[in-house]
Structure 1
Amino acid sequence: MRTLVRPATRLVTVAHGTRHAAGNEVAVQLTLAAAARLGLPATASYVELCSPLYADVVASGPSSVVVPLLLSTGYHVRHDLPAALPDSGDVVLGRPLGPDPLLASAQVDRLLDAGARPGQPVTMVAAGSNDPLAMRDLLRARDLLAGAWGGPVSLATLAGQGLRPADVVRPGDAISPYLLADGFFASRARRESLGAAVVADVIGPHPLVVDLIVQRATALLQARRTA
């Protein structure tokens, strides 16, 4: 009798998506690096503005674990991503990447790379959301960055709840964009951080982000085996 071999579970990541090609490439780089460590096939997908779209990927593919490349809770995490899951139960959705100490450590590296002085006052600039749970996550991310940085960190948001960079950034601050990739919000963060002494790069395809994706995917795989 012929034995059918089930295909390996696939890693799917889902980023927001941007019209900036370089920003979308960050998701691809992170996904390929994590997949190589996990030994899994993988696909990077996007909520909008770039293909392949997440909804199409999870509807058409094999058994998958999904790691959102999103830094906090918000409408996409709580509504769009779960709504697109197929009824088969073959796709398991994880939680957003942030807040997490690994992201804070990656932000510290970006600050130091940009020339910020250890302990220098920092403003963390996030995209923002109207979801109250997103603000909870952002405040936690701010506190994690303050602990990793060893100095004061303030929070500014570019949309939704919270204060804007113009209301928060002080002369001499270092700016830490709490953004995974270049795009609309990254450009705004740089443009609206007037008076800052240093503006760090976005988190990008940092090795610690790869570590985090591998951790999240491994936990989802283990949960599937024990379910």
Structure 2
Amino acid sequence: MTTTLVTVAHGTRRDGGNEVARLLTAAAGERLGGPAVTTYVELSEPLFADVVAGLTEPAVVVPLLLSTGFHLRTDLPEALAEAGAPVRMGPSFGPDPLLAQAQVARLLEAGAQPGQRVVLVAAGSSDPDATADQLAAVAHLARAWDGPVELAVLSGLGTRFRDVVRPGDAVAPYLLSPGFFSDRVAKEAPEGVVVADVLGDHPLVVDLLVQRAQALLATPVG
């Protein structure tokens, strides 16, 4: 019986942002040698709830969500309760050392210098567990970068990006895809700040997706 890999991203009205999830899923499916489907919580199709309800064979779900929050606690479990076949879902995609290594690569691509002060900026959440995940991501990045890293957020709990970043800093967006939040980072960054690209479909992000899928596939679903 075939087991399908289903990824679930948040979804955005910007097609370029949704494309990142499709590229990651296609690359992981090719490496795993099995079917892989990209879905979204909202704002883009196919919707996760519709896909899992229509499953006819077992599936594993890897959320492409960087922190714990409402979607992982509520939306996705509610959709899984209506699944048409056995499904196992993994945890949030981050924090993880591989994501930190991908952020380092993006920083260097943007021209940041080793040892430069870095601000990791996350979208933000009202969930305290998401803040704990973001702080863990900061710790991973500080080890990988071997330099000072500060946390900032654009919404929710925590210190706002504009109050943390200063001229001479480098900025590492803790964002998977371009969209509303990456636009805000670029707009709010003061002059003289190096702003790295989002994580995107970096090969290390693909590696993490494959690892998460393999861990779920190691135990038969159903």
Q: Under TM normalisation by the shorter chain, which class is it? A: over 0.9
Deviations 1:108-131 (A, max 9, x none): 000000000011000011001000
Which residue, out of 4, 23, 29, partners 2:23?
29
**With structure 1 as the length reference, what TM-score do the two structures score?**
0.94
Corresponding position of 1:144? 140
Distance change >3 Å, CA 139–CA 40, structure 1 → 2: same
The alignment status of 1:179 with 2:175, answered yes or no, reads: yes
Corresponding position of 2:197? 201
Runs (4+) off by over 4 Å: none
Tell me the matched-pair count: 220
RMSD across aligned positions (CA) = 1.3
> What amino acid is the match of 1:92?
R
The alignment status of 1:78 with 2:73, answered yes or no, reads: yes
> What amino acid is the match of 1:66?
V
Percent of aligned pairs with the same residue? 61
Q: Which runs of no fewer than 5 residues in structure 2 stay unpaired?
A: none
Measured in 2, the distance between the counterparts of 1:55 and 1:192 equals 35
Corresponding position of 2:8? 14
Measured in 2, the distance between the counterparts of 1:50 and 1:196 equals 36
In the TM superposition, residue 224 of structure 1 has moved relative to its aligned partner by 2.6
Measured in 1, the distance between the counterparts of 2:179 and 2:89 equals 25
> What amino acid is the match of 1:200?
A
Mapped contact 1:177–1:186 kept (Cα < 8 A): yes
The alignment status of 1:53 with 2:28, answered yes or no, reads: no
Mapped contact 1:101–1:144 kept (Cα < 8 A): yes
Q: Which runs of no fewer than 5 residues in structure 1 stay unpaired?
A: 1-5
In the TM superposition, residue 88 of structure 1 has moved relative to its aligned partner by 5.7
Measured in 1, the distance between the counterparts of 2:111 and 2:189 equals 16
SS in 2 for 1:224: coil
In the TM superposition, residue 174 of structure 1 has moved relative to its aligned partner by 0.3
The alignment status of 1:106 with 2:102, answered yes or no, reads: yes
Mapped contact 1:115–1:198 kept (Cα < 8 A): yes
Deviations 1:153-194 (A, max 9, x none): 001001100011111002100010000000111111111222
Measured in 1, the distance between the counterparts of 2:159 and 2:66 equals 18
**Greater Cα radius of gyration, structure 1 or 2:** 1
Mapped contact 2:53–2:83 kept (Cα < 8 A): no
